[in-house]
Amino acid sequence: MLLLLLLLLLLLVLLLLLMLQLQLLLLLLLLLLLLVLLLLLLLVLLQLLRLLLLLQLPLLLLLMQLPLLLLQLQLLLLMLLLLLVLLLLLPLLQLLLLLLLLLLLLLLLLILLLLIAATAVTAATDSSAATAATVASAATAYTAATASATAAAATAVASASATAAAVTAATSCRHLILVAEQVSITPCLQLKKLLPHRSTCDTCAMFARYNVECHNVRLASYRASSKCRVST
CA 26 – CA 34 distance, rounded (Å): 12
Query: C-alpha angle 129/135/136, rounded to 5°?
Result: 90
Q: Is the pLDDT of residue 27 over 70?
A: yes
Band the pLDDT of 155: cuts 50, 70, 90. Answer: confident
Sheet strands (E) in the chain = none
- The identity of residue 228, as a single letter, is C
Q: Is the pLDDT of residue 190 over 60?
A: no
N-term to C-term CA, the chain: 84
In order of 1, 75, 88, 159, 223, the CA distances from 231 in angstroms are 85, 140, 124, 19, 12
| Band of residue 199 on the pLDDT scale cut at 50, 70, 90 | very low
Domain ranges of the chain: 2-127, 171-231
Across the chain, mean pLDDT equals 66
Residue 48: CB atoms within 10 A of its CB come to 13
pLDDT in tens, 57-107: 565 665 666 677 777 777 777 777 777 777 777 777 777 777 877 777 777
Residue 214: other Cβ atoms inside 10 A: 19
Kindly state the average pLDDT of the residues 161-188: 53
Identify the pLDDT of residue 109.
75
Give the mean model confidence (pLDDT) for residues 178-194.
Answer: 53
Contact 98, 66 (CB under 8 A): no
The pLDDT score that the predictor gives to residue 171 is 54
Instruction: Identify the helix (H) or strand (E) that includes residue 199.
Output: none
pLDDT band at 198 (very low <50, low <70, confident <90, very high): very low
Per DSSP, the three-state class of 226 is helix
- Residues 36, 77: Cα–Cα separation, whole Å: 11
pLDDT higher at 201 or 70: 70
pLDDT at 200 over 50: no
